[in-house]
Amino acid sequence: MLFEDRSRAESFGVVAELYDRVRPSYPPALVEALLADGAKRVLDVGCGTGIAAALLRARGCMVLGVDVDARMAEVARAKGIEVEVAPFELWESRAGLFDLVISAQAWHWIEPRAGAAKAASVLRESGRLSAFWNLGEPSTPVRELLAPIYARLEPELAQHSVALGASGARAAAALAGITDSGRFGPAETRTFPWSETYDTAGWLEHLNTHSDHQLLAPSRRERLLMAVGEAIDRLGGSFEMRYETVLVSARRR
């Protein structure tokens, strides 16, 4: 379970500024879906550098963030977002109840059942828990180009890295935790397709913000990224990444 791997869960602060600069945002249709119930008070679990929180704050929401990493929290605070530093499962709310609890690209770092129960405890009646992820799928030519590189240099990443298209059943785990908590009505899943074009340098920066790549020994990571960069250059120096933002959402009973 990813939430048990604390070295990965707490690795992002090393590249907090880079993470904020190169990680993709979220599609407008997702923001509309999050706010469809008229939520005004929002708790952002695992808020990181505040990428999602800033979108909701720009729509007039009061957003409080909770994150385990003080370095990520500092970047979010620089955007004017209030952040409390704590593991969500142990965090104690002093801000009353919320209309909406979100988790952008982070719910897999939370123990699913305990996280759902904690979210229910800080939601008003009929408030909503919404966890979402940007899941990318490289095109067939890109996969065929990169697969042998990863198979040769970092075969474990080839099988499990979300940067290469592996989802790790994140939505399914969230659904199970919400159901098992017994605190929510039926959960629903929605998807929002979009795409992003990366040049070679942009993709290598993006990979540097993924925990599985970040925790490689520097020499191994440099060797891998050099080979990946050379391959993308041979492809023409850029490629399009197809994304789906997957939203798992349920209303508190």
Residue type, 28: P
Average pLDDT, the chain: 93
- Per residue in 136-187, pLDDT (tens digit) is 988 899 989 999 999 999 998 887 888 787 766 888 888 899 999 999 999 9
CB distance 164 to 7 below 8 Å: no
- The arithmetic mean of pLDDT across residues 125-130, rounded, is 96
How far, in Å, CA of 26 to CA of 55, rounded?
8
Q: Which positions ≥6 away from 107 have C-beta within 8 Å? A: 45, 46, 115, 131, 133, 170, 174, 248
- Per residue in 71-105, pLDDT (tens digit) is 999 999 999 999 999 999 999 998 889 999 999 99
How far, in Å, CA of 10 to CA of 5, rounded?
9
**Domain residue spans in the chain?**
2-138+166-197+240-251
**Which listed CATH number (3.30.300.10, 3.40.50.620, 3.40.50.150, 1.10.287.1120) goes with 2-138+166-197+240-251?**
3.40.50.150
Reply yes or no on whether the pLDDT at 6 is more than 60.
no
Give the residue carrying structure tokens 């996280």.
Answer: 115
Given this model, what pLDDT does residue 11 score?
73
- Per residue in 64-80, pLDDT (tens digit) is 999 999 999 999 999 99
